[in-house]
Every structure is written in C-alpha cells, then in structure tokens.
C-alpha cells in the first residue's frame, strides 16, 4: 500500500546541474516550470506550507539548477530553472533548451507539468514552447495563473476564461487545464493539490 501524500512533508532531495545528475528515473514526479518572475518558488513554498523550502531570489533567472524535493520514497516535486529572464549567453540558453526538451520528452517518471504564468502576462512565446513540447509527448499540463491578487476579481476571472478559450481553440484542452493562484493570499492551493494527487496517485505504468 502506497504512503499517503502529504505536501507539508516535502523535503529537499538534491540539486542537479544537469539531467544526468538527477535521481534515478523511477517512481513518479511532477515538474514546476515557468518564467523566472512567475512566482515558481513561492508557489512551491505555499503548497508545502514551508516558507523556505524552495529558495526565492531577488534576481530572476539566477538559479540554473534542477531542484528536487521528495514527497515519499518514490514521489517527487521538481523545480526547473526559470526561463526567459536570465542574462546568460545564447549558447547556454540553447543548451538548457535542449536539456529541458529531453527532460520533458524522455523522463519516464514525469507525470505532468505545472506551468506557471503571471496572470498579467499569460501565454508568452516560451510558455507556448513548453506547451508544445508537452503536447508532442502527451504530457498533461496544468497552468497556474499566479499573482492573481494583482488583479481585481473581474479582470482575473476574465483572464482565466480567455486562457482556457485559447487553449481550447488550439485543441489543447484535452491535455491542458488552468486555474488562478495567489501565494500571497494562499488561494488556489486545494485545486492545485487535487491535480497533483491525481497525477501522482497511480503507479507508473509499464511501457
């Protein structure tokens, strides 16, 4: 019988500079990805009720490590380096793009992708690239429209509906879902947990 999931029990596992140095590709994991200023670390800290589990930086894009957190012996959360903001050489960006694509398409234990977007600036070019990579390999994506507290209720709801509409028009509603989230107001946690539990509950099927 599997250990019940408790996100508050999340613990730092390791940081990996490259995919080769990630833990063995077994069990199940969910990755968090997004622009460097989308509030990725804050969302993980809010989910786990641990203020300093995922480090937040005042300089977006500085962290270039893959950070892994254990939930149980064989279930993990993965904090991928933020994209689209770091001032790094083009060759380094190209190399990370290649690594990221390989991770999304080749990591057998990856069950889904949490894609974070600032609700004021959703569906930027790199967000679409992440969605395209996931769609290519049938990977489910759950979009978190973060910093929902920055908008009034009406405009925030309008953005949510618009993002859902665009994804539906692109034929992506089968693999992509969307919700609002605010780390500051601690809103959207329950909805996020439901998605994570559904992805991590099933043992990895044999291919």
The model's pLDDT over 123-151, given as tens digits with 9 standing for 90+, comes to 999 899 899 989 988 999 999 999 999 99
Q: What angle do CA 28, 199, 98 make, to 5 degrees?
A: 60
The answer to which of 40-44, 99-103, 120-124 has the lowest mean pLDDT is 99-103
Q: Which of 92-101, 152-161, 197-206 has the largest mean confidence? A: 152-161
Spatial distance between the Cα atoms of 178 and 144, rounded to a whole number of angstroms: 6
The candidate with the shortest Cα–Cα distance to 74, out of 115, 118, 30, 8, is 30
Joined tokens for residue 175: 């693999």
Q: Which domains does the chain have, with CATH numbers?
A: 7-201 (3.40.50.300)
Strand residue runs (E) in 62-140: 66-72, 75-79, 110-118
Q: How far apart, in whole angstroms, are the C-alpha atoms of residue 30 and residue 112? A: 5
């Amino acid at each position: 019988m599997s250990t019940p999931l408790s996100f508050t029990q999340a613990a730092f596992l390791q940081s990996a500079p490259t995919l080769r140095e990630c833990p063995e590709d077994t069990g199940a994991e969910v990755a968090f990805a997004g622009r460097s200023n989308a509030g990725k670390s804050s969302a993980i800290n809010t989910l786990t009720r641990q203020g300093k589990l995922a480090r937040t930086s005042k300089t977006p894009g500085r962290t270039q490590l893959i950070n892994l957190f254990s939930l149980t012996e064989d279930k993990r959360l993965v904090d991928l380096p933020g994209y689209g903001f770091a001032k790094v050489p083009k060759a380094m960006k190209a190399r990370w793009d290649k690594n990221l694509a390989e991770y999304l398409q080749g990591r057998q234990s990856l069950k889904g992708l949490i894609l974070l977007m600032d609700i004021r600036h959703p569906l930027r070019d790199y967000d679409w690239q992440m969605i395209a990579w996931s769609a290519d390999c049938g990977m489910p994506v759950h979009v978190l429209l973060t910093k929902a507290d920055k908008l009034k209720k009406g405009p925030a709801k309008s953005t949510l509906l618009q993002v859902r509409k665009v994804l539906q028009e692109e034929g992506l509603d089968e693999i992509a879902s969307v919700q609002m989230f605010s780390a500051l107001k601690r809103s959207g946690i329950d909805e996020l947990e439901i998605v994570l539990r559904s992805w991590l509950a099933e043992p990895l099927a044999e291919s």
